[in-house]
Structure 1
């Protein structure tokens, strides 16, 4: 199948399965300007499928870098009110959000980490109300990725830029099932398969999960009335959508105050235009009390220091070591892809939907249920070929969930 045909299928997948646009619905697409060809197809597809209006918010990494290098320091403590107001207005009217994640992993490697930390915090505060919609599935949202030259070259540094972009396109088409004859049907089957494992975990209602590998020794308690989720989510009107494309994960939330032990990363984390690699966290009563990293330690410490909630975990996700993305043997330096190649955790906010009735809980009651709240939510990868996970039920039964990095059932 030729590239243009696959590109059209990918755009259609993002619109019909990702955000699953509905008649008379507004869509906001957030994207780098390098992804314009794909965006134009997505806009066309959205209108053809009944969208009332499609807005595109363009960004440019070179402009962003210039801002970090030359703008006065005080601008990094600010975030445009008109941007956050627009997001909230679209969410309130039932609109949808499609984000194209294709950042250069090394874009801000020479920028003062304090500037990055300040702006991440300022944007987190400004966008907190909007994120309350996405974290509780009160609006439809989806993230996809499109190759850019800088990102592709980071993954494949030993070939030409164009060859790297072409190779990354091939991998994206494969990982998102675009290379199937009918990608939409393939995604329906995939969501069904993920749900079968989700149903098993929900049936067992585990009290604790014990993680053990050569570098990780961690015990995670799960809150009462927690639920596992995967694949497709459901908005308040009952319409399915897929927040992440691709996705291989099944996830829930940990109890904010009941995580203890040491966990070690298994893949690099790209955060704020910097790479954090080979890092470990020590947690006591849920809180990170110690951290270290072979690369990007200052960036990691700034991330953890974002606010009180960023010292705690907000997500527990299970992904087999042998999975379509992992089997490519590629480190993508892109959390959307790397998190779906590996078991992972997240610093910061939990998805309140992972507690029965959690979507309607006021924030003031989160702590009572063990739900973490934060300005940030950042996934980091911990899965490895030697990772074992054992679940313990409330009646004391132990069940092997993962053995040597893969599902044990």
Structure 2
């Protein structure tokens, strides 16, 4: 117990100093499940020690979240309060930072009609569009982290005796976040520097396109002119560096909206708004999903693709070696924030404008003209395997290996 408390405090300090990188005089908003009370209290303590002016905690509970779909009147599913989105916008505009302990129950909406979930998700996405633009342009510091809940641990470690599952989840979270290092903050700074070296090499290459080959996958993804690879940390509008997802092992950029063609198959389950989709595939023509299959969650996938016109186009391409810390745990976490950092992945929906030169200053029309996609959604799905091969096409027509047998073929 003594070791656990020490590691929990190290984790809290890590997410404040590296995740949101809270500076003196900032406000901090924390979104946390009720089960994460102890961790949240420690984060609040560390935030005030770092100089926070004010820390606000928004508590969340899966039973309460599900209640809307079980008991609310029908019109409530199409409603999202503007007062709440306006509060978020003002919070960002006043320089606040957001820390989200994001751990939804993978089976939260089991038995709930997909159409109901889709309606509520669309209403929220529309109402939060301006706020999401702040997120995607890194206007402010934000960070997604993980902490065990009973429902999540029961799903991930179902083979263990029930009393061991939450502890096993804590062990995994500490391990993938480098909490067991003597100085996790220093270990993360070293890790971020390595990701910067990777993205530097990729940015110097200026690939015209990527070609993916694996079992069930033969996909070409063109990259727009002046695309930018990012990974590790990024700067907000005030120049403060932050890490948007902890853990993180990826480098990522923007695909050309109309430049995707071929077929791609998923390699891990996907949690879509609290509903699982698994063993699915897409066929792309001129950037658009024109056909798709799913053995599990087909209706939920259909609703996702029909969210808006941009939902059938890609907004992100991310590279993660198969031989990496999370992947080597050989476990599916049913949480995209972790699973995407164990696997190469793509994302349906909106791009991150910061993945193209001067993208944060572009209008929607200008971004689209530069090759970016816009949508109410941004949903990552995993495609990495031990047999994945990726070739890069240079501007002069040269083709060179980027991945072989699931891992980097480039030197960094």
Give the alignment's TM-score, normalised by structure 2.
Answer: 0.98
1:294-324 alpha-carbon deviations (Å, 9 max, x no partner): 1001001111111111111000000001100
1:42-83 alpha-carbon deviations (Å, 9 max, x no partner): 111111111111111111101112221121121111111122
Deviating above 6 A after TM superposition, structure 1's stretches of 4 or more consecutive aligned residues are none
Q: 1:191 to 1:32 in 2, by over 3 A?
A: same
- Which residue in the other structure is 1:334 paired with? 335
Gaps of at least 5 residues in structure 1 are none
Q: What is the DSSP-based 3-state SS (H/G/I as helix, E as strand, rest coil) of the residue aligned with 1:206?
A: coil
What is the deviation of 1:159? 2.4
What is the deviation of 1:26? 1.0
What is the deviation of 1:32? 1.1
What is the deviation of 1:236? 1.8
1:161 aligns with 2:162: yes
Distance (whole Å) between structure 1 residues aligned to residue 92 and residue 207 of structure 2: 34
Distance (whole Å) between structure 2 residues aligned to residue 344 and residue 167 of structure 1: 26
Q: What is the DSSP-based 3-state SS (H/G/I as helix, E as strand, rest coil) of the residue aligned with 1:225?
A: coil
1:126 aligns with 2:127: yes
- Give the conservation status (yes or no) of the 8 Å contact 1:32–1:58: yes
What is the deviation of 1:398? 1.1
1:260-318 alpha-carbon deviations (Å, 9 max, x no partner): 01010000001111110000011111111111101001001111111111111000000
1:133-157 alpha-carbon deviations (Å, 9 max, x no partner): 1101111100000000000000111
- Give the conservation status (yes or no) of the 8 Å contact 1:9–1:178: yes
Distance (whole Å) between structure 2 residues aligned to residue 267 and residue 350 of structure 1: 22
What is the deviation of 1:158? 2.6
- Give the conservation status (yes or no) of the 8 Å contact 1:149–1:162: no
- Which residue in the other structure is 1:250 paired with? 251
Q: What is the DSSP-based 3-state SS (H/G/I as helix, E as strand, rest coil) of the residue aligned with 2:188?
A: helix
What is the deviation of 1:364? 2.4
- Give the conservation status (yes or no) of the 8 Å contact 1:209–1:220: yes
What is the deviation of 1:101? 1.0
1:265 aligns with 2:271: no
Gaps of at least 5 residues in structure 2 are none
Q: What is the DSSP-based 3-state SS (H/G/I as helix, E as strand, rest coil) of the residue aligned with 2:208?
A: strand
- Which residue in the other structure is 2:202 paired with? 201
What is the deviation of 1:194? 0.8
What number of residue pairs does the alignment pair up? Answer: 409
- Which residue in the other structure is 2:215 paired with? 214
Distance (whole Å) between structure 1 residues aligned to residue 10 and residue 398 of structure 2: 46
Distance (whole Å) between structure 2 residues aligned to residue 179 and residue 106 of structure 1: 30
Distance (whole Å) between structure 2 residues aligned to residue 295 and residue 64 of structure 1: 23
Relative to structure 2, which stretch is displaced further, 60-69 or 248-257? 60-69
Distance (whole Å) between structure 1 residues aligned to residue 17 and residue 322 of structure 2: 29
- Which residue in the other structure is 1:82 paired with? 83
Distance (whole Å) between structure 2 residues aligned to residue 160 and residue 86 of structure 1: 43
Q: What is the DSSP-based 3-state SS (H/G/I as helix, E as strand, rest coil) of the residue aligned with 2:55?
A: strand
Distance (whole Å) between structure 2 residues aligned to residue 378 and residue 99 of structure 1: 17
Give the alignment's TM-score, normalised by structure 1.
Answer: 0.99
Distance (whole Å) between structure 2 residues aligned to residue 173 and residue 82 of structure 1: 37
